[in-house]
């Protein structure tokens, strides 16, 4: 029997550009053409002013550690505990859930407000996940 796999996202028409972006090594966000609001998760209208005129752009991939848990049990399929489930605040404003790589999964190493940068983890030929690592320099 195959090893249990981590949950695989399945894109929808509204989110396809995001997953195309990660596959191409880009973290893509959306900005409202009318009110300049930057938002996530993806949708083809602005959740702040309801305008349907919105643009997709490549985000800086920089942010900071807003909060997290270190999950011990029960572990999700495909994960070896303990592992951190983090929420990253992007420099552009929106927050997203993620994992923190290249960093011990401990309270000592995972300091709130630490600077992070995006990295890309290929799950299969369709899906590449955005994750974050401590920023260099």
Please select the residue that binds other proteins; options are 34, 85, 101, 135, rule is CB under 8 A. 85
Q: Which residue has the tokens 């919105």?
A: 54
Asked if 83 interacts with other proteins (CB under 8 A), we say yes
Q: Does 11 bind other proteins (CB under 8 A)?
A: yes
Phi and psi at 106, nearest 5°, equal -130, 155
**Which residue in this structure is represented by tokens 């643009």?**
55
Judged by CB under 8 A, does residue 129 bind other proteins?
yes
Cβ within 8 Å of residue 74, ≥6 positions away: none
Q: Within 13 Å and on the Cβ side, how many CA atoms surround 56? A: 15
Q: Does 96 bind other proteins (CB under 8 A)?
A: yes
Name the one range near other proteins by CB under 8 A: 27-35, 50-58, 60-68.
Answer: 60-68
Interface with other proteins in residues 18-37 (CB under 8 A): none
- Given candidates 20, 56, 64, 87, which one binds other proteins under the rule CB under 8 A? 87
Q: How far apart are CA 99 and CA 119, in angstroms?
A: 10
């Amino acid at each position: 029997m195959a090893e249990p796999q981590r949950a695989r996202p399945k894109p929808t028409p509204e989110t396809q550009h995001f997953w195309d972006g990660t596959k191409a090594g880009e973290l893509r966000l959306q900005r409202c053409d009318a009110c300049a609001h930057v938002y996530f998760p993806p949708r083809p209208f602005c959740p702040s002013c309801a305008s349907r005129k919105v643009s997709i752009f490549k985000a800086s991939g920089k942010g900071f550690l807003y909060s997290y848990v270190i999950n011990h049990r029960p572990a999700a399929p495909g994960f070896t505990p303990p592992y951190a489930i983090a929420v990253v605040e992007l420099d552009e404003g929106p927050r997203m859930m993620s994992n923190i790589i290249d960093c011990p999964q401990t309270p000592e190493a995972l300091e709130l407000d630490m600077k992070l940068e995006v990295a890309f983890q290929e799950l299969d030929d369709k899906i590449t996940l955005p994750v974050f690592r401590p920023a260099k320099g």
